[in-house]
Amino acid sequence: MNAAIRSKSKPTGPGRPKDLEKRAAILDAAKRLFPITGFEGTSMDAIAAEAGVSKLTVYSHFRDKETLFVSAIGVRCEEQMPATLFDIDKGAPIRRQLEAIGRAFFELVTAPEAIALNRLLTSGSCASEKLVQLFWEAGPHRTQCAMQQFLRHGIEAGQLVIEDVPRAASQFFALLKGDCHAKLMCGRCEAALELDVEAHVRATVEMFLRAYAVTADRKVPL
């Protein structure tokens, strides 16, 4: 048998693009269902049905529901706040990048599905301590670490003066949440509509830079 015939008769193996499509469909289904019905109320059967795949296919991509939950949270954060968002441009004013991070973060934490999931996790009755920890590591902790790294690069670039980087990162996100996030958590759905988000983000960045930007009186230590 010549090489051409052998090449044609060789099995092509599983369809990789199709596998990736199914994985994406499963994650999309998980992102929709977990905030609505909670972790305990969302079965792998329901996710499979929502994704249009078999339960066996779900388990072939994610070994258990906890793994799928963490993956869904991670993907949602990556979609809204990709790692590249925190790649500092040392040749550009840091204000512009802080505003971009601020917009993305505010949109992420005030999205209806994010508010619903936060309510479920903080209710105390629908979430185990382990599940809350998994959520923290996949979402908020990931974002905090990325922001801390961004701020350290800002210090190295000579644009920021910060003694306590973890605290500064936490302050930035807390300022962005403001009372709007608290109102949404309490069911005040009109809060986001009443807020001028762009003005809020700019004011937050302005306050942050007043505290940490390099100025004539506040310079990077030699």
| 3-class state of residue 213 by DSSP | strand
Final residue of a domain: which of 49, 69, 89? Answer: 69
- Reduced to 3 DSSP states, what percent helix, strand and coil does the chain have, rounded to the nearest 5? 75, 0, 25
Q: Is 208 contained in some domain?
A: yes
| 127 and 105 assigned to the same domain | yes
Final residue of a domain: which of 25, 46, 69? Answer: 69
| 56 and 87 assigned to the same domain | no
Q: Is 101 contained in some domain?
A: yes
| 29 and 129 assigned to the same domain | no
| 156 and 216 assigned to the same domain | yes
Domain count for the chain: 2
Are the CB atoms for 152 and 212 separated by under 8 Å? no
Q: Is 74 contained in some domain?
A: no
Are the CB atoms for 50 and 33 separated by under 8 Å? yes
For position 25, which CATH number holds? 1.10.10.60
* pLDDT at 156 (0 to 100): 93
Q: Is 2 contained in some domain?
A: no
Q: Is 112 contained in some domain?
A: yes
Tokens of 30: 């998980």
Tell me the torsion sign for CA atoms 107, 110, 114, 118: positive
Q: Is 91 contained in some domain?
A: yes
Task: Report DSSP state, residue 160.
Answer: B
Based on C-alpha coordinates, what's the Rg of the chain?
A: 22
| 125 and 102 assigned to the same domain | yes
**Mean pLDDT on 132-146:** 88
| 220 and 117 assigned to the same domain | yes
Whether pLDDT at 222 is above 60: no
**Mean pLDDT on 41-69:** 93
Tokens of 199: 């003005």
Q: Which of 10-19, 166-175, 197-206 has the lowest mean pLDDT?
A: 10-19
Whether pLDDT at 217 is above 70: yes
**Mean pLDDT on 15-36:** 85
Summarised one tens digit per residue, pLDDT across range 103-127 is 999 999 999 888 888 887 776 555 5
| Structural domain span for residue 42 | 15-69
- Count of CB atoms situated within 10 Å of the CB of 53: 19
Q: Is 115 contained in some domain?
A: yes
Query: Which one is predicted more confidently, 97 or 90?
Result: 97
* pLDDT at 2 (0 to 100): 45
| 96 and 144 assigned to the same domain | yes
Final residue of a domain: which of 69, 90, 111? Answer: 69
For position 190, which CATH number holds? 1.10.357.10
| 105 and 53 assigned to the same domain | no
| 95 and 137 assigned to the same domain | yes
| 158 and 209 assigned to the same domain | yes
Whether pLDDT at 76 is above 60: yes
Q: Is 6 contained in some domain?
A: no
| 150 and 221 assigned to the same domain | yes
* pLDDT at 36 (0 to 100): 85
